[in-house]
Amino acid sequence: AMASVVASVGGPVAVRASSVSSSNDPKPAPARISRSSRRAMLAAPVSIVIATRAPDSADASAPGEWGYADSSNGPLRWGDILDADGKASYPACGCAACQQSPIDLVRTAARGNVRVGSLADRLVAPDKPVTLAVSQKHGTPNYVATDRANGAAVVAPDGARYDFDSLHFHTPAENTVDGVANAMEMHMVHVSPAGDVAVLGVLFRHADADFPANAEVTKLLEKIAADGGREKVRVNLGSLYDSGAGFWEWTGSLTTPPCSGNVRWLLQKGTFGVSAAQREAFREHVGGFPGNARPTQPLNG
């Protein structure tokens, strides 16, 4: 069955909806060890003559480690990754019958499921700039609100409120429209008092003379290398999206392990601009090709 994707429009217009050495390197001559030194080594505690390799947190073979570029632990294998006990670390990521994200939004498929409305119907913008502390989360800059009582929120039709918690970026965009991925996507993560999650996605394409980069996003992407929460950036959250734009809405999942489900998704219709140079710097920061985007998932419902 198809997942229920509702398209809302911003007006009464209907929408179709570590290093390796070469084998040719010269080999050093073995050092000569005197008989007295040899006797001293054999008499020494075992711990000083046996060396072990330090664990490498970035090693793709480490239990539970996931990534994007390595085929052994990339997105197509997240559900197969085992922990140190041999159990699946992220079983939801491999659930073929679950409502997983991201997805491909087909505009014509939403023709019969369209209602008039805009993001202003779902989002509460704060009345002042919000301070975000920058840290690295699995190699990606994560911008976390220093004050959860910042006033920004997603409000569901049933009145459930999800307060703004953090935001991050993916390149290329994870959610696609008619099979096409934009240059970048921002996810604004909101959390309810019960711990439920709502995500607002905003798509970006490369800016040009007639389509300028979003100024607030430019500030954020200047801090991609910051870590530990020491560096902070103040942004106007209401300028990170178009409150008058229509949107798609559906139930999905987190797009990174553990791929937890029951996430309320909103995706803004229309795009903002992002500097091509900043987007490329971001891609290099997260490891280069192929970026940090999970492929689209089946529309299960």
Per-residue pLDDT at 16 exceeds 70: no
Q: If residue 40 lies in a helix (H) or strand (E), which one and from where to where? A: helix 35-43
Per-residue pLDDT at 110 exceeds 70: no
Per-residue pLDDT at 137 exceeds 80: yes
- pLDDT tens sequence across 42-79: 444 433 333 333 333 344 557 789 999 888 899 999 99
- Quote the pLDDT of residue 8: 79
Per-residue pLDDT at 117 exceeds 50: yes
- Give yes or no for a contact between 164 and 285, defined as CB atoms under 8 angstroms apart: no
Per-residue pLDDT at 238 exceeds 50: yes
**Spatial CA neighbour of 198 closest among 149, 265, 99:** 265
- Quote the pLDDT of residue 27: 43
- Give yes or no for a contact between 104 and 251, defined as CB atoms under 8 angstroms apart: no
- Quote the pLDDT of residue 34: 52
Give percent of the chain with pLDDT exceeding 70: 78
- Quote the pLDDT of residue 269: 96
**Spatial CA neighbour of 104 closest among 172, 33, 30, 20:** 172
- Quote the pLDDT of residue 24: 41
Long-range contacts of 229-233 (CB under 8 A, 24+ apart): 229/133, 229/134, 229/135, 229/144, 230/133, 231/133, 231/134, 232/131, 232/132, 232/133, 232/134, 232/146, 233/131, 233/132, 233/134, 233/143
- Quote the pLDDT of residue 199: 98
